[in-house]
Amino acid sequence: MTSAPRNYDIAELRRLDVAHHLPAQQDYKLIEDMGGSRIVTHADGCYIHDGDGNRILDGMAGLWCVTIGYGRDELADVAAEQMRELPFYNTFFKTVTPPAVMLATKISSLTNDRLPHVFFNASGSEANDTVFRMVRHYWKTKGEPERTVFISRHNAYHGSTVAGVSLGGMKSMHEQGNLPIPGIEHVRQPYWFNEGRDMDPDAFGIACAEAIEDKILEIGADKVAAFIGEPIQGAGGVIIPPKTYWPEVERICRKYGILLVCDEVICGFGRTGNWWGHETVGVKPDMIAMAKGLSSGYLPISAVAVSKEIVDVLKTGGDFVHGFTYSGHPVAAAVALRNIEIIQREQLVERTRDDTGPYLAKALAGLADHPMVGEVRSAGLIGAVEIVADKATGARFGGAEGTAGPTVRDACIANGLMVRGIRDTIVMCPPLIITHQQIDDMIAIIRRSLDECSAELRAGEAPPHDDTTDRAIS
């Protein structure tokens, strides 16, 4: 479907958007000054369409989530069928629905039954809230109530609820609302290009992991409950740690008996070329949070998969008084289950690992000689381009962080490619159905946009972007 499905009055919708709708992670005044947001009307495959008639290659898979692409009638049919049969029932009343049980079983199988128990929620933030409450309840039940502290990283993203923001390491988010809540400590992130270029990457990876051990010793090992991290930081700027980092993190967690939690909300479901990001980085977590790719964004659903050891302890603790109205929502679960079946049927994980992932890496490498590119990096189908003013020193445009990403991002969108600009990084996370030709298009548009922005950035004329989303989160 490429023509607009309905005859919307776009100008009126934009007016009403300003009058009534508050968007996520935005400067409301900026949207008002723009005369309202871009109205996205429909989508197919890897393309979104807006009310002004633009067809835009979706290099972000929606918001890191539309893994199998847009326009899957199969998911619409599954949702309609399930809605007719049973649109809702809860899991509070010693009750459950067939799709919830089947999806839990499927998720368990995707961990090779290493994490056989699954708790459902509606969003990634809620999944991390569940992690937070479950981990603390686990330690209390186990007889170690002092173990309450979570260790996370600066510039991590774990969601927008109070616990999600607190677990996350986004400074701009902490500044609004006196966060983080107590009991959460942040350590340095393994961001080699920005913070470690004077070191060998492997040594830098070890040094970043050692910061966790230092923090554990500072707090007291018997007070630390868990370490949480995204295998690859997504919203922080697609930060791919040196290969030494995660195995050392795992070794440290095991040494002090601390739970290891991976936030797989972006990295899960094939994004990095394996089912899970933790496989790509080579660790075995005790718990994982997942969302986004779980349903390819077709409906809101998230999950936490948990080890047998943890659940065995929880079973000795009576009611775990936690859960949501929509935990295990049957329509969302049915859609997620079919989404996973489609990923399997179309071998999208294998394709990402063996074909499109390596192809993206090669295409990105072709950008590396560009005078404004400091580094390119990718894992599977998630990637980033670091924009620099000076290739030799890595200096940023305007002498400070943060101008180039949003500027080049705007040019990319105008040129027909949706990407995000996070500080001075262009990040991409296309649907896993993307073709070689579409990857070539994506890279060509980024190159052209860099060229177009070059003069403006060098003149320091780039307008200031008070765009919280792109400066800080996604």
Ligand X SMILES: *Cc1c(COP(=O)(O)O)cnc(C)c1O
Closest distance of CB 326 from ligand X, Å: 12
Point out which span in 121-129, 338-346, 431-439, 456-464 binds ligand X (CB under 6 A): 121-129
> DSSP string of 394-446?
-PPGGGSTTSHHHHHHHHHHHTTEE-EEETTEEEE---TT--HHHHHHHHHHH
For the bound state, the minimum distance from the C-beta of residue 266 to ligand X, rounded and expressed in Å, comes to 4
Q: Can you tell me which of 47, 150, 157, 359 binds ligand X, judged by CB under 6 A? A: 157
Strands 287-290 and 302-306: antiparallel
E strand or H helix at 224, and its extent?
strand 224-229
Stretch that binds ligand X, among 32-40, 158-166, 214-222, 415-423 (CB under 6 A): 158-166
Stretch that binds ligand X, among 157-165, 314-322, 353-361, 437-445 (CB under 6 A): 157-165
193 phi, psi to nearest 5 deg: -60, -35
In this chain, which stretch among 53-61, 87-95, 230-238, 403-411 interacts with ligand X, using CB under 6 A?
230-238
Closest approach, Cβ 144 to ligand X, in A, equals: 27
Is residue 129 within the footprint of ligand X (CB under 6 A)? no
At 313, is the secondary structure helix, strand, or coil?
A: helix
Out of 48, 103, 216, 235, name the contact with ligand X by CB under 6 A.
Answer: 235
Is 203 within 8 Å of 186 (Cβ atoms)?
Answer: no
CA nearest to 111, candidates 308, 381, 353? 308
> Closest distance between ligand X and the C-beta of residue 118, in Å?
17
Q: 180: cis peptide before it, omega within 30°?
A: yes
Question: Considering CB under 6 A, how many residues would be counted as binding ligand X?
Answer: 16
Query: Does residue number 272 form part of the binding site for ligand X (CB under 6 A)?
Result: no
- Of 228-236, 303-311, 419-427, 443-451: span binding ligand X (CB under 6 A): 228-236
Provide the mask over 288-327, with x wherever binding to ligand X is found by CB under 6 A and - wherever it is not.
---x------------------------------------
Rounded Cα distance, 6 and 27, in Å: 29
Q: Of all residues in this chain, which one has the CB nearest to ligand X in the complex?
A: 124
Rg (CA), the chain: 22
Strand order in the sheet with 382-387: 373-379, 382-387, 425-428, 420-422
Phi, psi of 116 (to 5 degrees): -85, -10
Do 298 and 75 meet the contact criterion of CB atoms below 8 Å apart?
Answer: yes
- Which residue, 213 or 263, is less far from ligand X as judged by CB? 263
Residues 26-65 contacting ligand X, CB under 6 A: 64
Residues lying near ligand X in the complex (CB under 6 A) are found at: 64, 123-125, 128, 157-160, 230, 234-235, 263, 265-266, 291
